[in-house]
Amino acid sequence: MKLSAGMEKWGTAVLGLIAALLVAHLVSEYRSWQPGNFSAHAASPVVTAATMEKGTSHAANDLARYDPTVRFDALKQLDSRPLPDEGRNPFEYVGEAAPLPPPSKPEAPKLPPPPPPPPPIKAMGYNELPGGKGEAMVSFKDDMEVVHEGDVVGEKYKVVKITPTMIVFQDAETQKTFELSFPQ
């Protein structure tokens, strides 16, 4: 919404007047907070035995008996006293060294043996021969080979079984078998 130039000037003047009044109010409040204008004794309640029996707050009664005025002459007197002579350097350790704990034999955590590395063979595909026997295409160290049951791949892995979904190998060193699935 676009205002006319006259309305904009009047609005600016009204906002300036309000800001000036707020600043004047703030200054008057600040002046009333000055130490010379503060009356602490008038605000503190009088504590009597009768008010203590009526069940008023115990903390409020404890604070009411103290004088809130600051006595600068007493502070100056306390500051003028000499510091006590300690006779030692606070940055030097005085005393005996702590005894060393007895050496303990740390137990090494028993971890299971790491799993063997995966074989360097990947099953690539399956083909069924006319006689009903199957043959598999495998990748061994980036070489493609066609294998049948009983063949040895890489002088270590013997083909035990070939099915349309997987091929089973036996490791010659560990005598363990593992299965590889053909990609679908």
- Return averaged pLDDT per consecutive 10 residues of the chain, 184 residues in all: 81 94 92 62 49 57 79 89 79 81 82 82 89 89 89 90 91 87 84
Residues 6+ apart with CB under 8 A from 139: 121, 122, 124, 145
> What is the pLDDT, as a whole number, of residue 48?
52
